Amino acid sequence: MTIHREGYKTIAAGTLVFGLINLLSFYFLSFYSPLLSWIIFVGTLGLLVFLVSFFRIPARVLTVKAGAVIAPADGKVVAIEEVQADEYFTDKRIQVSIFMSPMNVHVNRNPVSGEVVYSQFHKGKYLVAWHPKSSTENERHTVVYRSEGREILVKQIAGALAKRIVNYLKPGQQVEQTAEMGFIKFGSRVDLFLPLGTKILVKIGDLPKGGVTEIATF
């Protein structure tokens, strides 16, 4: 397991706060209330461990497969439905939504290899990630890939806790399947918009792993 570069500053700040709180706690409380001092230590240590784990990148054997759409994120499949596209496309698409809890790995990966033809950040609200309107009203970053003659759209969507979306892709860039596309800090969701006729391999409630699980095939 390694730590994602997006977490370096956050973890450093968290470690500093952890040290400061416990230094003050042991100096002012340990003599008069040792139990309270230990409770503070255990509680803040737990928060620090959670913070470190949030930015983890576990060792995995990634799936690279032509004609397949690989999960762009860890999480839970919360929606599979035919929808009218509201950005870039004008036709109907199959939407597959993956909800990411704060406990999930939060690095996002390219679902296919190909060319980035569209990459756009949108300011917006911070509705809970499973809200039906979060896909269109929340802060989000949209990317469209052209792969093997097809185009698929991916949205990184902020939630009630997520306040920062990071995306590394630019139009014209050639990318490899399962390579990093970005990172969402503190829980959210990722939506895939696939052409009609795409064979969906997951169902609602499934728990895909980013860069590993096949979501669909063309």
Please tell me the total number of residues recorded for the chain in this structure: 218
Asked whether the CA dihedral 39, 43, 48, 49 is positive or negative, the reply is positive
135-191-120-124 Cα dihedral, nearest 10 degrees: 20
Provide the CB-side half-sphere exposure for 183 (13 A, CA). 13
The answer to whether 184 and 7 are in contact (CB under 8 A) is: no
Question: The tokens of 97 are what?
Answer: 């939504």
The answer to whether 54 and 205 are in contact (CB under 8 A) is: no
The pLDDT value given to residue 119: 96
SS3 54: helix
For the residues of 60-106, what is the DSSP string, one character each?
------TTEEE-SS-SEEEEEEEEE--SS--SEEEEEEEEE-TTS--
Distances in Å between the alpha carbon of 1 and those of 57, 62, 216? Answer: 6, 14, 27
Nearest to 54 by CA among 8, 128, 104, 108: 104
d(CA 191, CA 139): 13
The CATH code for residues 68-217 is 2.70.70
The pLDDT value given to residue 153: 97
One pLDDT digit (tens) per residue for the chain, 218 residues: 788 888 898 899 999 999 999 999 988 887 788 889 999 999 999 999 988 988 888 889 999 999 999 999 999 999 999 999 989 999 999 999 999 988 888 899 999 999 999 999 988 665 665 555 556 667 889 999 999 889 999 999 987 665 678 899 999 999 999 999 999 877 688 999 999 999 999 999 999 999 999 999 98
Return the DSSP state at 7.
G
The pLDDT value given to residue 55: 87
Angle at 90 between CA 156 and CA 191, to 5 degrees: 20
Catalytic residues: 188
The answer to whether 163 and 188 are in contact (CB under 8 A) is: no
